[in-house]
Amino acid sequence: MKTIGLTFLLAAALFSQAPPAAAPANSWRIDPLHSQANFTVRHMMISTVRGTFGGVRGTIIYDAKNPAASAVEATIDCTTLNTGESKRDSDLKGEEFFDVKKYPAMKFRSKSVQAVSKGNLKVTGDLTINAITKQVVLTLDGPTDEIKDTNNRIKIGATATTQISRKEYGILYNPIMEAGGVAVSDEVKITLDIELIKN
């Protein structure tokens, strides 16, 4: 019995000291310093307002030989919203729009990845904004070929685009103008420019 007990204790000690499993060879993390989410929305039916979000983070499993096995999980820091005008930024971060104090981040999780053509993917997944989740489709240009940066890290890049209805996410602000149009269009175009670092 003593021999069995000592063997068990030795095995437990060895397993407890084992290093954590390495990340999969096809695992990448988003580089938040070189990634951003850009959006455009029509204003008063005569112009376009542009803005950006920083704080883009997440993990991507990318299998170039079998894109359907790929997966994406990402978050965007809503508190980083910037349109170049502080009063407008404050309004957009408020309760009528992104309500960043209550919902500081938007989230995306893929459900499927499909190769459309060489260098182009279609990523379908769930986008959560203001605690409301809707399915969206990202059209992705990339990923690019691998390169090494100045820190000897392996990187790839990609650009993804989609369009959403802000009303579907509870962003309902929409005063009617005297001419009959609306101040802010419902359709919002989103472009994600991301760099990925190999894990």
pLDDT at 141: 97
What DSSP designation does 19 have? P
- Domain annotation covers residue 7: no
Start-to-end Cα distance in the chain: 45
What is the tally of structural domains in the chain?
Answer: 1
- Domain annotation covers residue 41: yes
Name, in order, each residue with C-beta under 8 angstroms of 164's C-beta and a sequence gap of 6 or more: 127, 134, 136, 187, 188, 190
Domain residues for 94? 25-198
Dihedral angle, C-alpha 64, 65, 68, 69, nearest 10 °: -80
| Residue 65 CB burial class (10 angstroms; 0-12, 13-18, ≥19) | exposed
- Gyration radius (Cα) of the chain, Å: 22
- Domain annotation covers residue 122: yes
| Residue 171 CB burial class (10 angstroms; 0-12, 13-18, ≥19) | buried
pLDDT by residue, tens only, the chain of 199 residues: 544 444 444 444 444 454 444 456 699 999 999 999 999 998 766 789 999 999 999 999 998 889 999 999 999 999 999 999 999 999 999 998 999 999 999 999 999 999 999 889 999 999 999 999 999 999 999 999 999 999 999 999 999 999 999 999 999 877 554 454 556 788 999 999 999 999 9
- CATH number where 124 lies: 2.40.128.110
Residue with tokens 């397993």: 15
